[in-house]
Amino acid sequence: MCGIAIRSAQAMGIYLRDESPSTSNLSKEARYRLWWGLYLLNNRVSGIIGRPLGVHRAFCTTPLPVPYREEDFGEEHVMQLLTNNEARRILISSLQFQTPRNETVESPIAQSPIHVASREEKRSEQARATAAQSLSVNASLYFIYAVDLASIMEEAIGTLYSPIAASRSWLQIELAISALNESIERWLSRLPTSYHLTRTRTNRPDVLQHTSLTFHFYSTKLIITQPCLHRVVYGVPEEGPPSTLCSTLAATCVQVAGQMLDLLPSDPDTAWLYGCSPWWCVLHYIMQSVTVLMMDLVARPEEGTPESAGVEAMIRKAILWLSKMATKDPSAMRAQLLCIDILTRHSSRLAMEIEVGI
């Protein structure tokens, strides 16, 4: 269905910026939101099933939506953004990870020392400044950050998991992983305080947006760093031991997997699951993190260390959640049985403890 919707949108030209004077600004904005909604959905599905993305941001000229609720479209400062493409571009660029926080976003012409800002450029900057002052946390602002994060995932999948990656040397892959890791950390540094990546209160009005963004961040981070963990666990004897950078990113991968599971309450709670989390893909997030933790556990030479005890505790928590979800979801049941089967072959003691606990 997602593929059909994307192809239909492409046939209608919704992936291109609408320059038609006969189309109202509100209609244009609705089309922009539709397109980026499809992009985000396609990105999430691709990350879950491991298939290539059906749409790439490089081929789109559709601007991102304005970071305001539709109910606010009648406000003067929002209307200025809807009618002034340059003001929109400047405001949205100031929110995205590509621009360092301490730099002012300007057009290439405005950066020239001999350039004198035109009246139109001054008007655009004034509109941007006015809009930024009134910006508050809302679903549309969340959407901007979610799409920006999705573009990092798109780049990670294309760089690290496409067939062409097999023809690159490990040094090239390692450098690409390091660059992607810097990109996602830069994205994180741009987040407003309200979206800081912690388990949020259930009574927050934006709890679902906050939790979804946090899960998606950790998921993208795992996609970026997991090749390093694979390198450390399985190794390539003829190429010697992994580099310090590779080992550091592998440790980061395991740490992030634990942080993702920390978002779940200690006791499995389906009310929290369906009310405060992205329930439609939380099974994927749990399996993504538990896969990393089991890889790390299998690679450890001995049991009983504080590090292995922490990993075991996280795996136990994940499987307890799968057990709770399995009462309503056959996919969760299959995931639970798969995890126990793997543990039985590599850590029978832990598998028995978990089965008794369930």
pLDDT digits (tens, 9 = 90+) for 305-333: 778 888 989 999 999 999 999 999 999 99
Same domain, 185 and 319: yes
Same domain, 156 and 213: yes
Q: For residues 80 and 132, is the Cβ–Cβ distance under 8 A?
A: no
Write down the pTM of the prediction: 0.86
Same domain, 113 and 146: no
Whether residue 97 has pLDDT greater than 90: no
Cα dist. 222→86, 155, 319 in Å?
A: 35, 14, 19
Same domain, 150 and 199: yes
Q: Going by C-beta distance under 8 Å and a sequence separation of 6 or more, which residues neighbour residue 246?
A: 174, 228, 231, 232
Domain that holds residue 202: 139-357
Q: d(Cα 330, Cα 336) in Å, to the nearest integer?
A: 10
Whether residue 116 has pLDDT greater than 50: no
Q: What is the pLDDT of residue 150?
A: 94
Same domain, 269 and 129: no
pLDDT digits (tens, 9 = 90+) for 38-71: 999 999 998 888 877 878 888 899 999 999 988 9
**pLDDT band with cut points at 50, 70 and 90 for residue 226:** very high
Q: For residues 157 and 47, is the Cβ–Cβ distance under 8 A?
A: yes
Same domain, 146 and 89: no
Whether residue 126 has pLDDT greater than 70: no
Same domain, 41 and 166: no
Q: What does residue 328 show for φ and ψ, rounded to 5 degrees?
A: -120, -15
Q: Going by C-beta distance under 8 Å and a sequence separation of 6 or more, which residues neighbour residue 320?
A: 268, 354, 357, 358
Whether residue 192 has pLDDT greater than 70: yes
Q: d(Cα 293, Cα 229) in Å, to the nearest integer?
A: 10
Q: d(Cα 224, Cα 248) in Å, to the nearest integer?
A: 13
Same domain, 168 and 315: yes
Q: What is the pLDDT of residue 264?
A: 94
Same domain, 109 and 156: no
Cα dist. 3→45, 56, 124 in Å?
A: 10, 13, 37
Q: d(Cα 272, Cα 239) in Å, to the nearest integer?
A: 47
Over residues 132-143, mean pLDDT: 79
Cα dist. 198→67, 150, 210, 218, 319 in Å?
A: 23, 20, 9, 11, 22
Domain count, the chain: 2
Q: d(Cα 315, Cα 291) in Å, to the nearest integer?
A: 9
Whether residue 167 has pLDDT greater than 80: yes
Over residues 2-24, mean pLDDT: 90
Over residues 136-151, mean pLDDT: 91
Whether residue 281 has pLDDT greater than 80: yes
Q: Going by C-beta distance under 8 Å and a sequence separation of 6 or more, which residues neighbour residue 73?
A: 26, 29, 79, 82
pLDDT digits (tens, 9 = 90+) for 28-37: 999 999 999 9
Same domain, 145 and 83: no
Same domain, 241 and 92: no
Same domain, 39 and 175: no
How far the first Cα of the chain sits from its last, in Å, is: 37
Token pair, residue 353, equals 């403890």
Q: What is the pLDDT of residue 217?
A: 96
Last residue of a domain, one of 133, 158, 185: 133
Whether residue 225 has pLDDT greater than 90: yes
Last residue of a domain, one of 90, 116, 133: 133
Whether residue 133 has pLDDT greater than 60: no
Is residue 307 within a helix (H) or strand (E), and if so which, with residue range? helix 306-326
Q: What is the pLDDT of residue 190?
A: 84
Whether residue 10 has pLDDT greater than 80: yes
Q: Going by C-beta distance under 8 Å and a sequence separation of 6 or more, which residues neighbour residue 268?
A: 320, 321, 323, 324, 325
Q: For residues 248 and 230, is the Cβ–Cβ distance under 8 A?
A: no
